[in-house]
Amino acid sequence: DLTVPDSLTLHADQLELNGQLTSGQDLILRSTNPVISNAQINSGRNFWIEDFNGNLGTLLSFGGSRIRSLGDVNFGNYQGAS
């Protein structure tokens, strides 16, 4: 689990998330590949997934990721449970 009081950006070629990820402000996941998540994602502001060029990215969730955000949620494509 990871909790930060301010904004959080995770930047990697491949992101695979499990457990709980919480930010008090914006939460950005930046990856060249689809982000794989079975995590509980909590954002105190906006949440988005993007590639390294700033284009909206893809979220893959095969175990049921849960997203809670007090602001906007943006990603390009989604594949997984609803």
Is 0.75 topped by the overall pTM? yes
- The string of pLDDT tens digits covering residues 41-65 is 999 999 999 999 999 999 999 877 8
- Residue-wise DSSP of the chain: -EEESS-EEEEESS-EE-SEEEESS-EEEEESSPEEE-SEEEESS-EEEE-TTS-B-EEEESS--EEEESS-EE-SEEEE--
Which pLDDT does position 64 carry in this prediction?
75
